[in-house]
Structure 1
Amino acid sequence: MNFIERKKFFLVDSSLCFLFLLFFLGERRAKLDDLESLKLENNK
């Protein structure tokens, strides 16, 4: 691979990682929100 191809590949790779992180954190936050609402429901 020449330098430009490697750079392109790296950009794609890092953006995929970024999207994956965003998705993962979003999922975890949603789960935490669900847990919080369940706790509130149980406390009533």
Structure 2
Amino acid sequence: MAAPSPAYQVVKNIIYKRTPDLKLDTDYRVKTHIPMASKAWIPHRW
């Protein structure tokens, strides 16, 4: 899998600097939705 291009990183940094709420929202989604999806897809062991 190819690494993200430097231009993509620059654009992402600009977007994050201009809209910190977007980064917070993204972090929130990563921290909540991914674990929830993992719990839904991975069989419970207890």
Q: TM-score, normalised by structure 1?
A: 0.44
Q: Which has the larger share of helix? A: 1
- TM-score scaled by length of structure 2: 0.42
Higher RCO, 1 vs 2 (CA within 8 Å, ≥6 residues apart): 2
